[in-house]
Amino acid sequence: MRRRLAAPLVVAALALPAALIPATSASAAPADKMQVLSSWTQTSAASYNAWYAARSNQGQWAAYGFDWSTDYCSSSPDNPFGFPFQTPCARHDFGYRNYKAAGAFDANKSRLDSAFYEDLKRVCNNYSGATKTSCNSTAWTYYQAVSIFGFKAAKATADK
């Protein structure tokens, strides 16, 4: 008799914690996802630094469902003329991919491209003289490319 009562009691006791925990969708992102995304895609160095720190600790942000994937500078060199543009390209990809997924790309593209340009210029600030001038010219070319062709590339990616 004890065994017959013990088994249902054990099952009920094990099920109780699960019943007390509210059910949430595994894909539900925190309500502040767009605020966090916006804070990481501004033109400031502080925004870049916050994104970089988060990128280095992506697991902490897993609940947000951010797309951290990147092809860096796409079909352009990641380090043109030796200038390390790879990380600014990665942040630009982060902004494009996540705003597209949120359905808010068009409204944010201009700012994302401006943030990209500011990130590139910060790379160039590590140089001086003719090298800095060359870097800034290359940064301007990269910025113009995403500014002009970014919508086409974004649409092509969305159509796949």
The structure tokens listed for 106 are: 């068009």
Structure tokens at 138: 């290359």
Q: Which two tokens stand for residue 36?
A: 């966090």
Amino acid at 5: L
Positive or negative, the CA dihedral 102, 43, 116, 72 is negative
What positions carry a catalytic annotation?
A: 92
Q: H-type helices in 21-128, by residue range?
A: 33-39, 45-55, 86-101, 105-124
